[in-house]
Amino acid sequence: MSAGSSALGVDAEAEVHSAREMAGGPAPVVWARRAVSGALGDDGDDVARWASRCRVAVVDAWDLGTAERFKALAPDTRILCRKHLTMADPAETGPRTSSGISYARAEAHGGWFATDRAGQRIGWDEGTGPVHLRVWDPEYRAAWVDAVTAEVRDSPFDGVLAVGDLEATPPLDLPLPDLGSKGQQREAVDNLIHAAGAALVGDGKILVTALGDARRSPDRWSGLARWGGVLEPGWMSTVGGRLLDPGTARQQADRLCQGEEHSLPEDAVAILRTPVPVDLAEEAAEDLVRYGLAAFWVFGGGRGLYAATSPDGSHSHWITDMQWDLGLPLEPPSVVVNLWSRTFSAGWVAVNLASDGRRRRHVTLPTGYLLPDGSRPPEQVVLGPHQGMVLVRDPGTVQI
């Protein structure tokens, strides 16, 4: 037994196995954990809970203990190491950091810091905290690829989650002395992703890239998925958390649909993350998570993985509905105005994409299903704007 397994004990391992058997295997969800301050406390109980629930876990590069515990408890769960593409943080002293190139290494090199027209290093928060690195420098990109592949090669990580695409970083005041346009900056980021993806795949790992512009650049969304997958950090919303109107939400959802132009490769990991504001009341947060989950099932048809976290990734949300694998879709999505629904081999889902507060929808529910608390639902419910509902088949009344 590995050190990670013994840290949790045989009882925890048996509990995880039992929970997975009862649920029919891990649900199509993702657990993400980020130590914003760089410090981690005792997370044994949290790891044990999520090991029975999820198919992918994302942790910090330095958090090897959590990665090892996950692998001991759930060997089939894919563990991704979070790595930033274009940033270095002087507060991270290593030896493992959230960046591909640490601040100390960039300092020693001297030429990888992005500088403004006055020759000053460009920081994220008015000159303090993390700083931009010159992703448009081919030498930097090669060093990033070498460092990251070497770090994860003989580790419990199955791959890398690359973060820090242009949609999620402070914009540069262009032009800079050595960078003329945002298009050039985006091309440099893409070149880094492709080079890193090829190297990681060559080592038997994967690269999943967080991209916040799927609906605006669908060819980029599908093209960068070739190395393992993509993550939409603002599912049914902007990256900043503003919920999308129905038309824009459909544009985003189309990236999941098989057979559509620019759809993802069949074997790509597609992670859809609902950002949940930290100041949101518990009931409102649960409604938001359920809304994103329902949209995930209706439009994705069970393809991909779902996550709900705080915007900074430090906390993952869980509702009972997330434990269900609803199986295969039995029909295409159906719609009446902005109310969408879909039937699965093991469940039924509805979601109201409306933004207008007056667009409440009365929904007649099918029979033979159960609510998250195990009770039978009423004959009819009202779904307000940006609300969803997930039901699971009742095995006592419906033959699966």
Question: What span, in angstroms and rounded, lies between the C-alpha atoms of 117 and 140?
Answer: 20
Helix (H, G, I), strand (E, B) or coil at 368: coil
> What are the φ/ψ torsions at residue 176 (nearest 5 degrees)?
-100, 170
34-43, 66-75, 188-197: which range is least confident on average? 34-43
**pLDDT score of 313 more than 90:** no
Closest Cα partner for 164 from 128, 137, 190? 190
Rounded Cα gap, residues 28 and 15, in angstroms: 19
Q: Say if residue 1's pLDDT is above 60.
A: no
Pairing mode, strands 87-88 and 123-125:
unpaired
- When mean pLDDT is compared across 35-49, 113-127, 153-167, 242-256, the lowest value belongs to 35-49
Q: What does the pLDDT look like over 71-101, one tens digit per residue?
A: 999 898 999 999 999 999 998 887 899 999 9
Structure tokens at 253: 């959802």
What's the average model confidence in pLDDT over 113-136? 88
As beta bridge partners, residue 245 has none
Q: Round to whole Å and give the CA distance between 316 and 83.
A: 18
What pLDDT is stored for residue 229 in this prediction? Answer: 92
pLDDT band at 19 (very low <50, low <70, confident <90, very high): very low
Q: Taking residues 42-70, report their average pLDDT.
A: 83
pTM equals: 0.87
pLDDT above 50: residue 119: yes
281 DSSP 8-state letter:
-
Mean residue pLDDT of the chain comes to 85
pLDDT at 39: 44
Confidence label for 38 from pLDDT (cuts 50, 70 and 90):
very low
Task: Report yes or no: 172 and 181 within 8 Å, Cβ to Cβ.
Answer: no
Instruction: Name the pLDDT band for 41 (thresholds 50, 70, 90).
Output: very low
Residue 2 has pLDDT above 60, yes or no: no
Which pLDDT band, with edges at 50, 70 and 90, does 256 fall under?
Answer: low
Mean pLDDT of 226-235: 92
Query: Residue 7: what pLDDT?
Result: 37
Q: Which residue has the tokens 């990256």?
A: 239
Burial of 78 (0-12, 13-18, 19+ CB in 10 A): buried
Q: Is the pLDDT of residue 349 over 90?
A: yes
Condensed to tens digits (0 to 9), the pLDDT of residues 209-218 reads 998 766 677 7
